[in-house]
Amino acid sequence: MELMNWQWEIEMLLRLVLAVLLSGIIGMEREALNKSAGFRTHILVGIGACLMMIISLSMPFIRMPGDFGATGSSSDPARIAAQVVSGIGFLGAGAIMSSSGKVRGLTTAASLWAVAGIGLCVGAGLYVTAIGASVLTFATLSLFARVENRIQKNRIIRMEIYMVDEPCAVGKVFEVFNDLDIQVKDTALVEDNKIGHDVIKLDLLLKIPYNIEAEKIKTALEKITEVYDIVYTQ
């Protein structure tokens, strides 16, 4: 195959366009949810991965400087593909963050990794596989999210609540837990007179639904006038 084989060049360009379309579909789903890596990021990952595979496949047909009539060196396409898969890790790490004891961005990082794989498939000419992978990835991100939300997931945390020893104070705390559908797995009541007035400490082991943030619990408890300090010990 000659270096300037226009049929080859046009086909490679079409592969890049297909990579843009497939990765863009997945990126739109992430963009709609205001994720850190959205529409453009996914497209760029898809283009980059596809381009690396195209370069890898083209190496045997590229004439090196100083060669007269000879084609380029032989190369293993799997080597560049492997570097793309490992190199995408820095983007995935950037999409992952921790907030209020909860890790976020894992799904977005996984979608970037999947888009890199889709781009490699398109670059290698595996169009049916790439389209199928795109459909499955999009379905996992959008349709399966509803299924995931229906699966009951709970977290166990330990909480210490310091409050003034007043009648019905403890009852108000348990009313908050009941309103938020939080189960109290274990509780201990300890008196603490170090502050200068009667203080009690509630040592609690709580089972929290997956969709309840720790900050939401704290905000609800702080509305109780008798509560003056909340500590998460987890």
Round to whole Å and give the CA distance between 150 and 25.
25
Range of 185's domain?
Answer: 154-232
Q: Into how many domains does the chain fold?
A: 2
Residues 89 and 180 in one domain: no
Residues 164 and 111 in one domain: no
| % of the chain surpassing 90 pLDDT | 5
Task: Please give the average per-residue pLDDT across 29-33, as a whole number.
Answer: 81
Query: Could you read off the pLDDT of 113-153 as tens digits, one per residue?
Result: 889 889 988 988 888 989 999 998 888 888 877 766 666 56
For residue 60, the 8-state DSSP code is G
Residues 79 and 118 in one domain: yes
Residues 35 and 97 in one domain: yes
Among residues 119, 150, 181, the one where a domain terminates is 150
3-state secondary structure of 19: helix
Residues 190 and 99 in one domain: no
Residues 92 and 188 in one domain: no
Task: Please give the average per-residue pLDDT across 10-30, as a whole number.
Answer: 89
Residues 36 and 129 in one domain: yes
Residues 185 and 81 in one domain: no
Residues 193 and 132 in one domain: no
The answer, yes or no, to whether residue 18 has pLDDT greater than 90, is: yes
* 103-to-125, 151, 204 alpha-carbon distances in Å: 36, 18, 23
The answer, yes or no, to whether residue 34 has pLDDT greater than 70, is: yes
Among residues 112, 128, 150, the one where a domain terminates is 150
Residues 103 and 47 in one domain: yes
Q: Closest Cα partner for 112 from 210, 51, 37?
A: 37
For residue 69, the 8-state DSSP code is S
Residues 91 and 206 in one domain: no
DSSP run (H or E) holding 104: strand 102-104
What pLDDT score does 68 carry?
46
Average pLDDT, the chain: 78
> Where residue 1 falls among pLDDT bands split at 50, 70, 90?
very low
- Of 30-39, 133-142, 210-219, the range with the highest mean pLDDT is 133-142
Residues 71 and 118 in one domain: yes
Among residues 108, 125, 150, the one where a domain terminates is 150
Query: Could you read off the pLDDT of 55-79 as tens digits, one per residue?
Result: 888 776 655 555 544 455 555 667 7
What pLDDT score does 140 carry?
84
Answer yes or no: pTM beyond 0.75. no
Long-range contacts of 97-104 (CB under 8 A, 24+ apart): 97/36, 100/213, 100/214, 100/215, 101/157, 101/214, 101/232, 101/234, 102/213, 102/214
